[in-house]
Amino acid sequence: MATEGVPIVKSSHVITSMVEEPLPWPLVSDEQDKAGILAAQVSFTDRRMIKTTLLVVIVTSLVAVILTSCGGAYAAPATATLVYSGNLDGELEPCGCSEAGDLGGILRRASKLDELRKQQPALFLISSGSLLANASPRDRLKSEYILKGIAAMNYDAIGLQWRDLAYGVDFLNTTIPLPWTVTNWEKQRVFPPQRNIKHGDVELAFFSWLDPGSSPFQQMKGNHNPAINNADRLQTALQKANQKGLVTVLTTSLTLDQAEKLVALDNIDILVIKSAYEKYGKPVLEGKTLVLQPGSRGMRLGRVDLKIDKKGNITSWQHDVIPLPESIPDAPSLKAWYDEYNTKVKAAYLASSEQRKLQQSGQSPYTGSEACQSCHEKPGKIWSESLHARAFERLEEVGKSFDPDCIICHTVGFEQPGGYIDARLTTHLLNVQCESCHGAGKAHTDSLGGKPTPNAGWTKEKICDQCHTQPHSPDFDFDSYWAHIAH
């Protein structure tokens, strides 16, 4: 929105013309003259000076009245703080296996937001969506508690992305109410198309575009896509909000180029585009539109401090990225939430363990490290002195020995036929052992080494990449890590 109102230079011109006009009243009354307040004989120059001084006082007062009554560009700008995020992608808490990857988590996010709200009680808190994940059956439970944790933070508005619909609309609306917003949802009664939020002197209009082009419903026959592939409704709503002097915010999973093709940016004050991987992108100014790019996996928060005039124009801004490291304490208000989550994770794990016990029959293809060391004595000694040999202990230390997302890389053959079930029944498969890397070894040992292990043809790098992935081990460097376990 272009700044409107009378320009400063025009105001100066008005002042000049007023000075040149003669005053309709005498500068000094007869009574003042008789009382001796001013000398009876005042030179022309003195009168001119007095006349000019009084006019300056009068004009200054008039300008002050105009500024007060008109508002607009002349008024002192309002201030607002916007905290934004996007693409949590099911990361309820960080893995914690490496320092570089130990960022984020709902507990730390809630704690940091509590701190920020003490500094700025009227801050705006928004997300561009993609809170959930559906990579495995256990993600449904995790998603339920992500929604409950996010609800405790009192977000003002949350955009919707397709991943959020992994378990259906009813799952979102019945688990716990959240301020979901979708401007192009076909049935507006399901999700509101717009949210107006006012904190202090600033009112924000929030919109969200759900990209029809990336809809999973496109793979289905017939017309099942709930997102309208027409931006007219969005364009009209943005224009109306703009005319009312609201600060307009649009979130989307589109790139900047795609967003510019979708809708004109003239009526958008803040555009939140497709998230970058983990780290926040650098803000850019496109015309008068401030373009923000969140980072994924909930490892950081973005903060923008704004100055806004009475017409909703952003006159200046300052941007910061806030990391969420281990040094940030867990939010005490979410302790019960986290304890309940871990209790349910443990219960689900124990239930699935019982099912695997019933299903498992015959001999296991895994032998455990002792069988390997009977022939490979030197590599076995190197392994026994490594952190791999104590990997499960680390899970027990942090209370995650019942979390399948952690167990899978801290045991042998978890969720594989004949693999790890629990610490009591399959003790010999605890920790990261030989078979974690080389594959199930029973056929190899029974043949006295005649049959190769399943992963015999793999490179060392491929073997390590089974667990040392970017999300869990972002600072992994093969050469430096291999030096600790070379055999």
CATH number at residue 87: 3.60.21.10
Q: Is residue 348 part of a domain?
A: no
Supply 310's token pair: 């009475």
320 three-state secondary structure: strand
pLDDT of residue 36: 44
Residue 62 and residue 80 in one domain: no
| Pairwise pLDDT comparison (448 vs 291), residue with the higher score | 291
Residue 175 and residue 306 in one domain: yes
Mean pLDDT of 270-288: 96
**Above 90 in pLDDT, residue 422?**
no
Q: Is residue 344 part of a domain?
A: no
* Residue at a domain's end among 50, 73, 96: 73
- Does the pTM surpass 0.75? The reply is no
pLDDT grade, residue 340 (50/70/90)?
very high
**Above 50 in pLDDT, residue 345?**
yes
Residue 281 and residue 166 in one domain: yes
| Pairwise pLDDT comparison (428 vs 160), residue with the higher score | 160
In this structure, is the dihedral angle defined by the CA atoms of residues 358, 360, 366 and 371, taken in order, positive or negative? positive
pLDDT grade, residue 43 (50/70/90)?
very low
Q: Which of left, alpha, beta for 295 (phi over 0: left; psi -120 to 50: alpha)? A: beta
pLDDT grade, residue 262 (50/70/90)?
very high
Q: Is residue 342 part of a domain?
A: no
Arithmetic mean of pLDDT over the chain: 83
User: Pick from 76, 156, 92: which is nearest to 124 by CA?
Assistant: 156
* Residue at a domain's end among 25, 40, 73: 73
pLDDT of residue 352: 83
In tens, the pLDDT along 163-185 reads 999 999 999 988 899 999 999 99
Residue 286 and residue 392 in one domain: no
Residue 126 and residue 170 in one domain: yes
Task: Give residue 175's domain range.
Answer: 76-332
Q: Identify any residues that bridge with 181 across adjacent strands, giving them in sequence order.
A: 159
Mean pLDDT of 249-273: 97
Supply 114's token pair: 């509590």
Helix (H) or strand (E) holding 303: strand 300-308
Exposure string for 52-80, b = 16+ CB within 10 A, e = fewer: eeebeeebeeeeeeebeeeeebbeebbeb
Q: Is residue 1 part of a domain?
A: no
Mean pLDDT of 254-267: 96
Q: What is the largest CA-CA distance in the chain?
A: 129
**Above 60 in pLDDT, residue 73?**
no
* Residue at a domain's end among 73, 106, 122: 73
pLDDT of residue 15: 24
Residue 93 and residue 167 in one domain: yes
Taking a C-beta distance cutoff of 8 angstroms, is the pair 314, 290 a contact?
Answer: yes
Strands (E), 123-266: 124-127, 157-159, 180-181, 195-199, 202-209, 247-252
Residue 295 and residue 389 in one domain: no
Q: Is residue 340 part of a domain?
A: no
User: Pick from 184, 180, 207, 203: which is nearest to 194 by CA?
Assistant: 207
Residue 179 and residue 231 in one domain: yes
Q: How many domains does the chain have?
A: 3
Residue 58 and residue 138 in one domain: no
Q: Is residue 353 part of a domain?
A: no
pLDDT of residue 52: 58
CATH code: domain of residue 436? 1.10.1130.10
**398 DSSP assignment:** T
User: Percentage of the chain with pLDDT > 90?
Assistant: 51
For 30-178, where are the alpha helices, taking DSSP H only?
Answer: 30-34, 44-70, 106-119, 139-151, 169-175
Q: Is residue 25 part of a domain?
A: yes
Residue 62 and residue 128 in one domain: no
Taking a C-beta distance cutoff of 8 angstroms, is the pair 122, 154 a contact?
Answer: no
In tens, the pLDDT along 188-246 reads 678 999 999 999 999 999 999 999 999 887 766 666 678 999 999 999 999 999 999 99
pLDDT of residue 100: 80
**Above 80 in pLDDT, residue 50?**
no
Mean pLDDT of 337-352: 92
Residue 289 and residue 177 in one domain: yes
pLDDT of residue 18: 28
Residue 65 and residue 81 in one domain: no
